Structure 1
């Protein structure tokens, strides 16, 4: 008997380990599908027994949702309509006002919001026992004779708004649309036909309740890019970010805040976030939904609760009143002005009073007990000292534990401690501004390190909130994917599956043919960059004489660069922009940077020794410095026809203290 690809998948999944399965899948006409190792693949380009025809023979199944469903669900359904077109060049009909007729139809809806889905449940045609009442849970299932005039339906049902949205985007990923199709210009492979396997398809309930990213330190890169392309960090830009987060099955965002005011700069920002289904928050030092920059605009007097409590209360009250009924996790507590430590005179009693007063404002402005509004208190930097010295907040408040800004979690709940109603979360860093040095330019975060730290968080029960500081978002694409995939269910990715995850992520972006080679590059460049972050490099970082340390580091990078450039020549033209962003650029830029500092080190040594080649090395160092600028210019202005101009404007050469140097200067 000749098995179809989808049947082979399930047969060999029982027989072989995943690495052998990946070899098999590379030879089959299946789609890229999910990134999590072992995740179910339920869409194929070939029809198996009982398969639902999503597209074939120049036709597609119509999409149908009730117009009473959440606006965010209807919007995501239109994304599915566009995604099917990306894959097949066919555009399915999307109906919301009348029942469709046809042999096969896609039915989309949310329990309790869609009469269509509720009717299927009532008629016992759809079993939602594993979905109803759950958090962000979806079910995809083929249903026979769902309604008059329809033979079969592919039902996408969600337990709540985001459950349905995640079900929609799960199908989009399965048909071959990468979540990074816009943010990294990943092309979508073309297919003539799409079939969905019979059975119930779900990823269950997420293990981490709130999963998100923090856009931080966005000048000059993201700030310059957004201003040029959208007129600022406004709703035109943020809708792209909201969609990305949802496609990655995240649900939470701290927006750009240095000089920006999410809810003031564009009044549509918070409205559209809520419509899309994004839970908004503010960073660890921005209480009661107010951006820090708002105090300069609307505050009165000093940022000092001991001397100016009334004005601060009025300011915070405005933030909660503006929030209304939209989904937010409200930051409580207080740091000094500009994310600085509180004054020496601050004490635990004062901070506990601040929290009590803030919760009183929350209760008064929402008209319900404070514990019914999600809140978090970030134990960031010196704030953890307050906690360690005995400061406490009410049990319903989530304690957001933090890393040390360099990827090492500082504190975890004690095993055996009484559970908190608000639970615990983690604030993690891929990007940082502060001492001893900023690191903002490129990805320096190896996936095994992230796995180790977030695995600890999961094992110790810090699963209420996971949020990661991603700087300008680009170029952190790969570790962002991992962070949000891992947050959905940490039990699905073991320590021995990290390489498998990397290969599958590479497959999702570039196809199976070169996935193993790309995965090796992704792993190596992050490992090399984490040895010493680029901003901490100079000509004295490594030794020229002890075991040829500097030479070895440069040789490692240059060997990897040769491999990466050779692979670039094998990439199809449509993949070149995505390959440069995600793979080639970080290798090329860091190989050049390390060689520049190596050359400067040689130049200094040879000058001391009075060698004739000293000036030759000086000239070479200047050439490498100029090449650094050329690499950034290509990223900004040539790649993707200038779509990402300014994203590589970040200063990264010539640091002398924690803050970035204003201009880039060639090392002396």
Structure 2
């Protein structure tokens, strides 16, 4: 299923209307440091990224990407720690309910919201706070983009400008719940991805897609603030791929002919009919009960 994506701007940050001008790199201070700015990196040192023990794995992964993004821009890679160090400038990723927060976050406006978040600078700290774990992660991906990282860099090849020092402008950014609760995209023509190749030099249709491809796909979805991904068809549905999506905070969905993530291509190719105890006859008129069982199998095998 291909789902359109919409992000709703929600009030002031470093710019009054965040969509009135290009957002990539728009929070970087290029002149003298001003009051309220936060120096993220300078001369090989800089902030630490704080992720508490209670945070979900998807928040930790967002912190890892953020650390790599800051390194790509400044040359300095922030360490990721479980608790802030005394006197150290920090970026703190906190989901509502997982720690104390400054009053500037206005927690009451976040509690119970779907994927809402705040990016707030206060007293040498950058607060990335979400109403739920995915909201917290999206705050980190938003910060990365505003520092200069293209969410589609894996496809565009865009390299962010170098900044040393890397200074974040004083920021008060609020993002409310998205217009569309579920948002995702899928790869079409992914039959070119499986490895190894057959005798003709074409990807073997009983092969598999390397996990690195899923990582690139899932990372791109997250940087675009999507929350759904469709696993590749015409390949084995490995549990490690499903686990990766879950750990990174993504829902599984499916596209037009992959009904209920059942992988119809695998009916006979991967012996899924036999595994699910049905006849390998993909015909609603002659095998209705078999198809219903086959589709239920897709849900049962991918629900975790």
TM-score of the pair, normalised by structure 2 = 0.80
Q: Which residue of 1 aligns with 2:60?
A: 74
Q: Residue 120 of structure 1: SS of its match in structure 2?
A: coil
1:224 and 1:295 map into 2 onto residues whose CA distance is 20
How big is the alpha-carbon RMSD for the aligned residues of Structure 1 and Structure 2? 2.8
- Answer whether contact 1:109 1:164 (CA < 8 A) is retained: yes
2:288 matches 1:312: no
Asked whether the equivalents of residues 289 and 319 of structure 1 are also in contact (C-alpha less than 8 Å), the reply is yes
Which 10-residue stretch deviates more, 67-76 or 201-210? Answer: 201-210
User: Counterpart of 1:195 in 2: which secondary structure?
Assistant: strand
Alignment of 1:207-356 (within 5 A): 207-220=179-192, 222-223=193-194, 232-257=208-233, 259-261=234-236, 264=237, 266-296=238-268, 297-299=271-273, 300-324=279-303, 326=304
CA distance in 1, matches of 2:84, 2:164: 27
Q: Is the 8 A contact 2:184 2:226 kept in 1?
A: yes
Counterpart CA distance in 2 for 1:268 and 1:183 is 24
Aligned to 2:143: 171
In structure 2, what is the equivalent of residue 448 of structure 1? none
Matched, 1:191 2:163: yes
Offset at residue 199 of structure 1 (A) = 4.2
CA distance in 1, matches of 2:196, 2:114: 36
In structure 1, distance between residues paired with 2:138 and 2:48: 19
Structure 2 counterpart SS, 1:44: coil
1:101 to 63, 66, 86: 86
- Alignment counterpart, residue 50 of structure 1, candidates 10, 22, 36: 36
Q: Which residue matches 1:34?
A: 24
**Higher relative contact order (Cα pairs below 8 Å, separated by 6+ residues):** 2
Deviation, structure 1 residue 53: 1.7
Deviations 1:296-320 (A, max 9, x none): 2222242233432333233233222
Q: Which residue of 2 aligns with 1:120?
A: 101
Q: Which runs of 5+ in 2 are unaligned?
A: 1-13, 198-202, 274-278
Change (3 A) 1:184 1:223: farther
> What secondary structure sits across from 2:93 in the alignment?
strand
Please list every run of 5 or more consecutive structure 1 residues that lacks an aligned counterpart in the other structure: 1-8, 23-31, 36-40, 145-151, 327-668
Q: 1:136 aligns with which of 104, 112, 115?
A: 115
Q: Say if 2:178 is the partner of 1:201.
A: no
SS of the residue corresponding to residue 305 of structure 1 reads coil
Answer yes or no: is the 8 Å Cα contact 2:208–2:235 preserved in 1: no
Whole-angstrom distance in 1 between the partners of 2:142 and 2:86: 25
Q: Secondary structure at the match of 2:286?
A: helix
Q: How far off is 1:162 after superposition?
A: 1.6
Q: Which residue of 2 aligns with 1:410?
A: none
TM score, norm. by length of structure 1: 0.38
Q: Please state how far the C-alpha of 1:223 moved relative to its aligned partner.
A: 4.5
Structure 1 or 2, whichever has the larger Rg, is 1
